[in-house]
Every structure is written in C-alpha cells, then in structure tokens.
C-alpha cells in the first residue's frame, strides 16, 4: 500500500514537470511573436517620429500606434501621413458625440478666422448645425449673393461643389463655401424634403451685425444678426444715434440670430442692466463662474426683445439675462435651446480644436440647454414667413414686431 502511494506521487510529479515545460515553451513562443509582430507592446514609434520608445501604457493608444506602424510598413499605396493624422484628430473630436466639438486644420482655421475680421469673400450666410449634425442656414445677409439666389433660413447645405457636407460641422463647411471674389460655388440644397442645386457667384461681404431705425416718432428698432467682435460697438452706437432722434422705447430684435461671441452678448446685457448677475456657468467639475454687470446703464427706456426658434446660444444668454432680471418683455416663440459653451483652443501649428466645457444658466437658475427660453408673450408668424429672413417678412404679417410696438406704446402712454 505504501509503495503504491509512492508510485502515484512519482507519476503526478512527472505530469507536472511536463506541464511546466509545455507552459515555458508556449510562453516563450508568445513573447517572441509579440515582440516581432506586435511592436506597439515593445517599442512603438511616436506619431510623426521615425522611431523611438513611447512611455504610454494605455492599450488604446498602443493599439493606435500599432496600426500606424502597420500602415507605414505594409500599406500598398503611398501613405499621406499628414492627412491621416488630421483625420485622426477630426475623428477624435467627432467621437465625443458633441456636434459642437470639432478639429480644424490650420487652413480651415484660417478660413474660419476671416469671419471675425469684418469682411470676407463669400455668399453671405450664417450657418449652424441641426440636430442631425448637418449644415443649416440660420441667416441670410440682406443684399448678399445668397439673398439674391433665394437661399432661406432652414435650408440644409448638402454639398458645396464636389464636397459632401452631410454630417460635417458648420465651421468645416466655411472653407468650401467661401472663395475668391467673382468665383462660383455650386450648392446642393435640401428644403422641405426636396433637393435642388444653385450656382452662386461669390462677392465681398461686409459684416455689419447691427441695423437700426426709428419705427415711430418715439420707438426705435435695433436688429442684431450675430454676436461677433464689433457687435457691441455697433449696438452702443445705434442706441446713441436713436436716442438723439428722440427714442423713448426700444424694440431689440434677435430673431434668426445663431449666437457668436458670449462676451459681446454679455456686454450688451451689461449696458441695459444695473449691477446684478448677468449669467453663470457650471463646468464638468461642478465649478460655478458668474458674469456680473456694473452699475453703469446706457439706457433705462422700456425694451421689448423679439426672439424665435432660431435665436440660439449667445442670443439666449442675452435673453435669459434680461428676462430673469426683469429688464425686458420677451415676445415671440421659444428659443432654440443651446445653453452650452465651447472653448476654442488654437494649437502651435495653426490648427484649432473646440469642445463643450460648461453650461449656462440664467440668474434665476433658468436652464437654457435643450429647453430654450420661453417668451413672456407668445406670438407666432404665419407659417409661410416663419423660415424667411426677417427682412423679407412684410410688416403687415410681422405679428411679433406689431405686438412689440403695441406693448411699448402702452408703456410710454401712447
């Protein structure tokens, strides 16, 4: 019995020796294959470099570097690495699922920056993105080539020449729609479920964001089409000129205004408000920042504010700041509902990226994003005029503007 037990122990030991030896052979084979066929686990090259080690231990990054190494070594056609990397950066920002996040190459960013300089050569439209991420026309400049070609607010730009713009950011689309003065761009437009093409000759577009006039002997009117670098200055000048003409009340119109620079909207709110909170933001870490006005008030006359469902972003910031502080009466329909802010970060190579980093709230905690700002007085335009440029709506059908005038006449005792 004792001998049999001893023999069994010997047999078991022999089996374990065989198992251990087999494992060592398999382990060495795997190590050999990993080091020779999967270089990203060993000494993968850094992007854009000719070799060297990477210190990353993130398997996702190592996988990316491995794929790049494979393409460098084995791709049959000529590999344009600069283009490949630009597309990787674009995909990274697009992968957030945030339709406002994007990466622009140096060339695309240069084209985009022209918008902020006061003039450019193009067709004269304002663009944003719709809920599906497509390029949406949200403004058509009066007298522009786009205006003459019959483009309308609400149109989707499907294609510019040979470049498909479906699912592309509005900023990306800029470089394909703008071009030398006198040149032609062919746009494919989607409107009411049908597509058509239109050829538009580009022209010099002078960017005037503020228009003003007297509506009656006592009521002034200011239309703001967008908030850009000189919008506040144009607004302040318009108020001064209208008051010199006897303005006692003001209709401030930001219908079809897609937004722009928050700082410009905040400065305009500051001019209409006493010392108070204008707006506040909350970032991803829950940190809160406040924008406050000073005691200076440019004018304290009664103001009505006209908005619609294309009034977005900075337009909504201005709206909620003035409404929550009881400064204006808001007339129209509920605004677009974009209450988030993007940080725009230029990079050293001239490229740029942006992404959403905070959400805005009104002084009373009013939520803007995906909710919009509801007017004090709801008035709709006739359906046939709803998507038209504001300048194309005849006064007799502009029920929102008529209501604003009626309200202000009661305020000033007329």
Catalytic-role residue among 313, 314, 315, 351? 313
CA 149 to chain centre: 26
Catalytic-role residue among 256, 323, 338, 354? 338
**Interatomic CA distance for residues 285 and 308, integer angstroms:** 32
DSSP state of 144: S
In 45-161, beta strands by DSSP E = 102-104, 119-122, 125-129, 135-140, 156-160
Asked about 338 being catalytic, the answer comes back as yes
Closest CA relative to residue 312, chosen from 289, 328, 288, 336: 336
Please count the other Cβ atoms lying within 10 Å of the Cβ belonging to residue 258.
26
Q: What angle do CA 191, 131, 98 make, to 5 degrees?
A: 145
Please count the other Cβ atoms lying within 10 Å of the Cβ belonging to residue 26.
10
Helix, strand, coil content of the chain in percent (nearest 5)? 35, 25, 40
- And the tokens for 230? 């000189």
Exposed, middle or buried, 66 (CB in 10 Å: 0-12/13-18/19+)? middle
Asked about 225 being catalytic, the answer comes back as no
Q: Angle formed by the axes of helices 81-94 and 59-74, to 10°?
A: 150
> Which residue's structure tokens are 């032609």?
184
369 strand-pairing partners: none
Write the DSSP assignment of 310-350 as a string of letters: T--THHHHHHHHHHHTT--EEEES------EEEEEEE-TTS
**Interatomic CA distance for residues 410 and 279, integer angstroms:** 30
Catalytic-role residue among 309, 324, 389, 398? 324
Asked about 164 being catalytic, the answer comes back as no
Catalytic residues, which ones? 313, 324, 338
């Amino acid at each position: 019995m004792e001998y049999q037990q001893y023999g069994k122990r010997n047999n078991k030991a022999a089996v374990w020796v065989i198992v251990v030896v087999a494992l060592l052979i398999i382990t060495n084979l795997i190590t050999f294959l990993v080091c020779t066929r999967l270089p990203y686990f060993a000494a993968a090259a850094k992007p854009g470099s000719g070799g060297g080690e990477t210190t990353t231990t993130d398997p996702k990054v190592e996988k990316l570097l491995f794929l790049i190494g494979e393409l460098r070594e084995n791709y049959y056609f000529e590999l344009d690495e600069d283009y490949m990397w630009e597309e990787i950066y674009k995909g990274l920002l697009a992968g957030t699922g945030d339709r406002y996040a994007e990466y622009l190459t140096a060339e695309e960013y240069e084209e985009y920056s022209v918008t902020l300089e006061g003039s450019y050569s193009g067709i004269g439209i304002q663009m944003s993105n719709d809920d599906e991420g497509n390029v949406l026309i949200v403004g058509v400049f009066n007298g522009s080539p786009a205006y003459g070609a019959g483009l309308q607010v609400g149109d989707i730009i499907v294609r510019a020449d040979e470049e498909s713009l479906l699912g592309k950011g509005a900023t990306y689309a800029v470089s394909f729609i703008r071009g030398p003065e006198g040149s032609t761009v062919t746009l494919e437009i989607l409107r009411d479920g049908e597509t058509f093409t239109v050829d538009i000759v580009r022209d010099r577009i002078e960017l005037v964001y503020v228009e003003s006039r007297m509506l009656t002997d006592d009521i002034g009117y200011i239309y703001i089409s967008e908030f850009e670098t000189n919008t506040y200055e144009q607004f302040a000048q318009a108020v001064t000129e209208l008051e010199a003409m006897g303005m006692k009340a003001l209709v401030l119109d930001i219908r079809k205004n897609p937004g722009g620079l928050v700082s410009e909207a905040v400065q305009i709110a500051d001019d209409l408000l006493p010392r108070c909170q204008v707006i506040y933001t909350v970032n991803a870490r829950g940190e809160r920042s406040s924008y406050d006005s000073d005691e200076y008030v440019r004018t304290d006359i009664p103001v009505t504010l006209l908005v619609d469902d294309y009034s977005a972003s900075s337009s909504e910031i201005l709206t909620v700041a003035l409404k929550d502080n009881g400064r204006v009466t808001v007339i129209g329909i509920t605004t677009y509902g974009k209450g988030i802010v993007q940080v725009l970060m230029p990079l050293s190579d001239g490229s740029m990226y942006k992404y959403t980093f905070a959400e805005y709230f009104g002084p009373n905690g009013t939520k803007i994003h995906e909710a919009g700002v509801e007017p004090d007085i709801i008035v709709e335009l006739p359906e046939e005029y709803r998507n038209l440029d504001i300048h194309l709506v005849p006064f007799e059908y502009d029920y929102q503007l008529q209501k604003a005038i009626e309200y202000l006449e009661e305020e000033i005792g007329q």
